[in-house]
């Protein structure tokens, strides 16, 4: 089952959701600000994306700038931060079995179905 980690207030996330809706594929919407991914789930997503935790961080967010900017954090500490402050998670993320994509730009989502 395809999953989209979605923030309804984000334009790119809404565009990604529209691509999934147009695809005709079955999918599950996870509003990750309400249903915060576990640390294990974040690790799994990172593995499927084939990126390091820092690449999933929205470094322009106020939370990042006030609490983490300029600090040297381990991957484990970054995952902790993403879990504690899910607003820092780049969006949208679409996961399909063993693959995942960040929808920036949203068209990248098409590459995983």
CB count within 10 Å of CB 51 equals 14
Please state, in angstroms and rounded to a whole number, the distance separating the CA atoms of residues 101 and 105: 10
CB 102 within 8 A of CB 45: no
Q: Tell me whether residue 49 is one of the annotated catalytic residues.
A: no
CB 28 within 8 A of CB 4: yes
Out of 10, 29, 33, 51, the active site residue is: 10
φ and ψ at residue 56, rounded to 5 degrees:
-95, -5
φ and ψ at residue 2, rounded to 5 degrees:
-75, 140
Among all residues, which ones are annotated catalytic? 10
């Amino acid at each position: 089952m395809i999953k989209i980690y979605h923030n309804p207030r984000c334009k790119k996330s809404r565009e990604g959701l529209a691509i999934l809706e147009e695809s005709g594929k079955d999918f599950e919407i996870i509003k990750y600000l309400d249903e915060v991914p576990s640390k294990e789930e974040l690790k799994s997503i990172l593995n499927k994306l084939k990126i390091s935790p820092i690449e999933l961080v929205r470094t322009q967010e106020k939370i990042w700038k006030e609490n983490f900017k300029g600090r040297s954090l381990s991957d484990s500490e970054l995952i902790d931060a993403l879990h504690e402050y899910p607003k820092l998670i780049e969006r949208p993320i679409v996961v399909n079995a063993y693959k995942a994509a960040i929808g920036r730009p949203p068209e990248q989502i098409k590459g995983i179905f």
